[in-house]
Amino acid sequence: MKFKVASVLLGITITSTAFTMTAGSSLATATSVKVASAFKVNDPAIGADGLLPAANTCDGASLSPALSFSGIPKGTKSVTVIMHGVPGPARPGETEPSTHVYWTLFNLPASTKALAQGDAGGGTLGHNFKDNTLSYTPPCSQGPGIKTYTITAYALSTRLSIAANDATRDSLIQAMKNSTLATSVLNVHYTRP
């Protein structure tokens, strides 16, 4: 039985301790191994202000963000990217704001170091929230003020065997739960003009 304890700090996941236990062993005799990962996702177009370029929104070209990956852990077989956010106040008919999923991209080759704007990089696109198509849909928030969008990258020990038509944020998270080696979170911000 394996247990992992992980924490996320500044977009870097550090797996602090991995315990391996065999049947009949107690925690006192379990082997402890220290593991650290510097896996990081970044958008080279985002400056120190953390602002999402207008080109990645409905106010611009509606292209998926450019991303770079570093510190991909040894044993990674694929990378998954999910971008989501709560874009503003509840819409008509909603009792509370809902999470919007703008981008689901999975089975990126482990050798992927970067994605250009609008590029799927050899990965498979899953569903977005807006029109339920297999594509990126740009943030187009309602209401005034700055909004936060979260891009999460997952380094996986396997390729996912999920069909693109079945790939939603929830189904991908479920499919990845036993194969995630590291995660990295990038929060970006945007205010509509």
**22 CB neighbour count, 10 Å cutoff:** 9
Quote the Cα angle for 192-127-6, to 5°.
85
3-state secondary structure of 164: helix
Q: Which ranges of the chain have pLDDT less than 50?
A: 1-35
Residue-wise pLDDT tens digits, 125-161: 999 988 878 999 999 887 778 999 999 999 999 999 9
Dihedral pair phi/psi, residue 174, rounded to 5°: -65, -45
- What local confidence, expressed as pLDDT, does residue 37 receive? 64
Task: Output the six-digit token pair for 188.
Answer: 């970006």
Q: Supply the CATH classification number for the domain 39-190.
A: 3.90.280.10
How are beta strands 78-85 and 12-20 bridged, if at all?
unpaired
Q: Which helix (H) or strand (E) holds 176?
A: helix 169-176
In this prediction, residue 86 carries a pLDDT of 81
Residue 8's pLDDT is 41
Asked whether the beta carbons of 158 and 179 are under 8 A apart, the reply is yes
**What pTM does this model have?**
0.79
Q: Where in the chain is the domain with CATH 3.90.280.10?
A: 39-190
Residue 155, pLDDT score: 98
Q: Find the length of the chain.
A: 193
Give the pLDDT score at 2.
42
Q: How far apart are CA 128 and CA 100, in angstroms?
A: 8
